[in-house]
Amino acid sequence: MLIVMKSDATRSDIDRVVEIIKKLGLRGHELPGESRTAIGITGNKGSVDPTHFENLTGVADAIRVTKPYKLISKDLRPEQSVIKVGNGFIGGGDLAIIAGPCAVENPGQVFKVAEAVAASGAKFFRGGAFKPRTSPYAFQGMGEDGLKILSEVRERFDLNIVTEAMDEHGIDLVEKYGDCIQIGARNMQNFSLLKYAGRTRKPVLLKRGLSATLDEFLLAAEYIMAEGNYDVILCERGIRTFSDHARNTMDLSIVPAIRRLSHLPVIVDPSHGTGHNYMVNPMARAGVAVGADGLIIEVHPCPEEALCDGAQALTPLQYSELVDQVRKIHDLVGEKTFAQV
Ligand code: PEP
Ligand code: MN
């Protein structure tokens, strides 16, 4: 059930609706929009009787939701969500660029990349301190020491930190040192982790699972939001297909597909999406052209020496060329991408 308030509904009208939802043993999620507030209801097993709400002052409509998701939906919030990440914003028209190494390796490596990222005008820095590696013998990340280096990047370069957490303890640490919790492709359906992230107050960058459908991806975001954290950014990072010329197949049509259904921002990761240095720039351009709200790009001062994902890392120079090019494309397509879906 979705309660749509009238545009002139007062604070106490909204509080009254939320109170009734609580009395029914359910949870109300208030999402204020530009012209009206909507309140999503979760926790119900069957359908909720609309007569509880229909005649209350300030209520415009009580709508039964037939889709499997509620809070991610444009029915709840017709305007695009803009998510605050540290002192920057993702969504809502500007192109957000998140860049940095795959993994935090040492302070020198990280600061070199941070310098290039700050110089490009990007507002967000990435870097993993906890790395989900295929082999248990591969470099697993620096852990908390890596997060300390990242928080130094925030102080020195005024960049907002996006970094992955793989378990609950990792989320606690990322909350302490970072600005945005990344949940990786391998954990997209780790439901207890999603719920835990939903109980934090930090925004979450949710990457699409390696074989996740659109609905599975959106429902993973719904898990986070159902716990009360509405600050979710979706990320297409490529999926597994029979195609073997690239590490993954970047499924760019998911950008307009998400746009049609959801108010959440969606960004694109051409680094993991392709796995090859030479493919990152063209696919980044394509991602911006289809209307992504941003990009996440891996950069390393010396890709051939990277401890993780060196084959897809850009040099700082390649990265700055990419930023110049995608900004031009974004200026060209910008607002038009919203109008078409
Ligand atoms: C990463 O961003 O470094 C990463 C491991 O991404 P993914 O979860 O998409 O593989
Ligand atoms: Mn990586």
Q: Has residue 160 been placed in a domain?
A: yes
- Specify the pTM: 0.96
Q: Is the pLDDT of residue 337 over 80?
A: no
Structurally, the chain folds into a number of domains equal to: 2
| CB contact at 8 A, 186 and 162 | no
Q: Has residue 213 been placed in a domain?
A: yes
| Closest-CA residue to 181 (of 86, 282, 65, 299) | 86
Q: Is the pLDDT of residue 340 over 80?
A: no
292 confidence band (pLDDT: 50, 70, 90):
very high
Q: What pLDDT does residue 335 have?
A: 67
Instruction: Spell out which residues line ligand 1, taking CB within 6 angstroms.
Output: 102, 128, 132, 184-186, 207, 237, 272
Classify 182 as helix, strand or coil: strand
Burial of 339 (0-12, 13-18, 19+ CB in 10 A): exposed
- Closest-CA residue, ligand 1 atom 4, reads 184
Classify 289 as helix, strand or coil: helix
Residues with CB under 5 A from ligand 2 (ion): 102, 309
Q: Where residue 9 sits, what CATH number does that domain have? A: 3.30.70.1140
Do residues 15 and 95 share a domain? Answer: no
* DSSP at 120: T
Q: Average pLDDT of 278-291?
A: 98
Do residues 285 and 327 share a domain? Answer: yes
Q: Has residue 265 been placed in a domain?
A: yes
Q: What pLDDT does residue 46 have?
A: 87
Q: Is the pLDDT of residue 338 over 80?
A: no
Do residues 39 and 91 share a domain? Answer: no
Q: Where residue 96 sits, what CATH number does that domain have? A: 3.20.20.70
User: Which ligand 1 atom lies nearest to the CA of residue 207?
Assistant: 9
Calculate how far, in angstroms, residue 184's C-alpha sits from the geometric centre of ligand 1: 5
Calculate how far, in angstroms, residue 53's C-alpha sits from the geometric centre of ligand 1: 44
Share of the chain above pLDDT 90, in %: 94
334 confidence band (pLDDT: 50, 70, 90):
confident
Total Cβ atoms within 10 A of residue 26: 15
Do residues 40 and 134 share a domain? Answer: no
Out of 21-30, 180-189, 220-229, 328-337, pick the least confident: 328-337
Angstrom distance (rounded) from CA 47 to CA 105: 51
β-bridge pairing 88-90 and 59-63: unpaired
Out of 33-42, 116-125, 253-262, pick the least confident: 33-42
Do residues 96 and 54 share a domain? Answer: no
Q: Which residue has the tokens 């940095």?
A: 100
- Within 8 A by CB and 6+ apart from 120, the residues are 97, 99, 319, 320, 323
Q: Is the pLDDT of residue 242 over 70?
A: yes
> In the predicted model, what is the mean pLDDT of the chain?
96
Do residues 302 and 211 share a domain? Answer: yes
Describe the crossing of helices 214-226 and 191-198 by its angle, rounded to 10 degrees.
40
Q: What is the dihedral of CA 297, 244, 253, 337, to 10 degrees?
A: 40
Pocket test for ligand 1, best of 105, 133, 211, 237 (most atoms within 8 A of CB): 237
| Closest-CA residue to 263 (of 86, 3, 11, 34) | 34
Do residues 58 and 92 share a domain? Answer: no
Q: Average pLDDT of 16-21?
A: 97
Angstrom distance (rounded) from CA 104 to CA 155: 16
| CB contact at 8 A, 218 and 303 | no
Q: Has residue 129 been placed in a domain?
A: yes
Break the chain down into helix, strand, coil percent, rounded to 5. Answer: 40, 20, 40
* Domain limits for position 290: 83-340
Both tokens assigned to 30: 């208030």
